[in-house]
A and B are shown apart, each in its own frame.
Chain A
Amino acid sequence: MSATPTRSSSWTVRVREAGVAALPPEKLLPDGQPTYVASWIYVFGVASIASLVVIVTSGSILALKGPAWWHYTGVGHFFNSIHMWAVELFFFVMVVHLWGKYWMAAWRGGRAKVWITGAVTFLVAVPTALTGYVSQQNFDAQWISTQAKDGLNSVGVGAFFNVTNFGQMYSYHVLLLPLAVVGLVAAHVLLVRNHGVVPPFKLDERPSLAPIAKDTDGPAVPTGAQS
């Protein structure tokens, strides 16, 4: 009996072939981008990723050192501030990115999954930030957690988690929710690589803004179309 599986029966081969078919190396790591990407409005996606890298790096250092370090030492305060301001920047550039993609209808051309993963990333980032605020181990965290507890209870989701439970919120903040955000961002980027960056609307697809001229001998035509 042969122990060697055929190529088609090996799951590793099937996964590899499916991966290469969906994202060949030249699409995964392209040499360049289309000329229409040379606009500031296309910068905010990668700015969001850059902010996320700073957030994860500074957050990892805070997790290594602990609350006493980030509350009572100068370097700890510094990394605490880096972490908080990177989050502010992350939401700032992510919202501008979202506005830009909304107004260029970035779900066009079979890009629905790209749009959905981006929107869901934004929604998951909100509780990720909230659990960070309630994990600070100070009066600010106590105030925010008790206010959030009332708000969450009022909409009926307080039975599933407790924002005044530091251990639970800290676990959410340093493991579960960051995993979700990073995983969603990775899926989002791979989908962008797969489908390409959404192009702007074509000029000739825009409705004519020229005034309509009535021709007594024919149908109404835009003045811009007359020659």
Chain B
Amino acid sequence: MLAAVFNLNHPAHTVDWSFIHLSVANVVVIALMLVVFVLAILLPFPGVERRRGGSS
């Protein structure tokens, strides 16, 4: 069986701020969702000019 990419043989690392208690893994996922959300708004969609009757 393949080993895990990361060493998982220890308690999870956490981020603690006041009552907020999150595992680093969950913080990474939340940050990735925010990045993807911003990119989805900013990045142009392929073929958008053609669909809107543009020249390109």
Contact = CB atoms under 8 A, between A and B. Distances in A.
A95 B30 CA distance: 10
Interface residues of A, number: 14
Nearest to A43: B40
A88 B52 CA distance: 35
The range of chain B's interface size is 10 to 19
Contacts of B41: 39-41, 100
Interface in B17-56: 29, 32-33, 36-37, 39-41, 43, 45, 47-48, 51-52
Contact of A40 (B29, B39, B51): B39
- Chain B facing A: main interface SS: helix
Interface of A: 35, 38-41, 43-44, 77, 88, 92, 95-96, 99-100
Contact of B52 (A38, A43, A44): A38
B26 to A, nearest CB: 11
B37 A100 contact: yes
